[in-house]
Amino acid sequence: MLPEHYPQVKAIYELGMATNNATLETKAPDWEEWDAKYMKSCRLVALQNGVVAGWAALTAVSGRCVYAGVAEDSVYIHPDFKGQGIGKLLLQKLVLASEQEGIWTLQAGILNENKASIKLHEQCGFRILGVRERLGQLHGQWRDICLMERRSNVVGV
């Protein structure tokens, strides 16, 4: 992902927000805020004829050095490109990129209603750890988050 991809990445994120099942966030950040949040080395876009069809990136779960190998993933696909395997390809590539960066655990917090994302993560080696009930609110409604994890078979073994 390059900085010039961000306007399309942001638009895809906003489309995800509009579903009310992709994130508890209600406003997409500007480039500087987004750039500061996501790890520099694990940012991917899927391009179709020069158009961003989807994106994936990692955030560190903690600033503490003992958790340096633990990150949380984000995967978003433009609605026009859903059902084409782009999300799976992005997540598979993100897993590989994370392992090249020494990440031993990936986690995902997915709104419990987002069954497609839960299934995608399971297909890519994630397991459900549990459901965190009433973890956060979106538009005044409490939402449950499915916590998923993938442990690397090559890093930290």
- So where are the chain's domains? 3-151
Mean pLDDT, rounded, for 21-50: 96
Burial class (CB in 10 A: 0-12, 13-18, 19+), 79: exposed
Q: Considering the chain, what percentage of its residues have pLDDT values greater than 70?
A: 100
pLDDT tens-place string over residues 109-150: 999 999 999 999 999 999 999 999 999 999 999 999 999 999
Coil, helix or strand at residue 109: strand
Burial class (CB in 10 A: 0-12, 13-18, 19+), 36: exposed
Domain 3-151 CATH assignment equals 3.40.50.1000 = no
Q: Given pLDDT bands bounded at 50, 70 and 90, which one contains residue 75?
A: very high
Mean pLDDT, rounded, for 65-91: 96
Coil, helix or strand at residue 147: strand
Structure tokens of 127?
């397991």
pLDDT tens-place string over residues 58-72: 999 998 988 999 999
Residues 6+ apart with CB under 8 A from 59: 37, 38, 39, 71, 72, 74
This prediction's pTM: 0.94
Task: Name the strands in the sheet holding 105-111, side by side, starting at the edge strand that comes first in the sequence.
Answer: 43-48, 51-60, 70-77, 105-111, 141-151, 127-138
pLDDT at 157: 81
Distance CA 91, CA 76 (A): 10
pLDDT tens-place string over residues 30-41: 999 999 999 999
Q: Is residue 18 pLDDT above 90, yes or no?
A: yes
